[in-house]
Structure 1
């Protein structure tokens, strides 16, 4: 009989890793990037979660609902996290890569 290589142990109760995994699945993988000495938080937006239209600051064209893109905001703003989130912009993924 073949041996199973899957772990059989259970995670401990109160483990927050499952909550984090669910958040990442729902909202994508946030990452930090630095451009020209400024730190930014980059949040991928899946096509399923893209429900509104936006204007990309990189090319000036519309990001239609249902198009995968990224939301970008400063990670090191002096006015605080709420002001940084209010100043976020939605970019085409390609436009952000070449910016």
Structure 2
């Protein structure tokens, strides 16, 4: 395979040091823990180059296109990574303003 050819991400992705880790696992230095009125969240900011798929934002119900920077968040409790969601960055910041019904949370 050519070194310039992008590889498709599998069930594991690579951290800064190249060690394989499950997608959604908390990685200090890469992920942050944020306290919000609706609870404690693990948050990972993805650059456009890291986003290879199209996702649906739970905040606005619009698509997050491939190669667009966005936020991935999940509850900070054990097993919360199973509830991981991809958000537009602005939708994540403003989700509490819109009230229930526009979000999955």
TM-score by length of 1: 0.64
The 5-angstrom pairing of residues 50-61 of structure 1 reads 50-61=51-62
- How many residue pairs are counted as aligned between the two chains? 71
More helix by share: 1
TM-score by length of 2: 0.61
Indicate whether 1:95 and 2:96 are aligned.
no
Deviations 1:46-76 (A, max 9, x none): 1001001110011110001000001000002
**Following superposition, which runs of at least 4 residues in structure 1 exceed 4 angstroms of deviation?**
none
Structure 1: 5+ residue runs without aligned partners? 1-19
Structure 2: 5+ residue runs without aligned partners? 1-14, 18-26, 96-105
RMSD between aligned residues: 2.0
More strand by share: 2
Indicate whether 1:40 and 2:41 are aligned.
yes
Larger radius of gyration: 1
Alignment partner, residue 11 of structure 1 = none
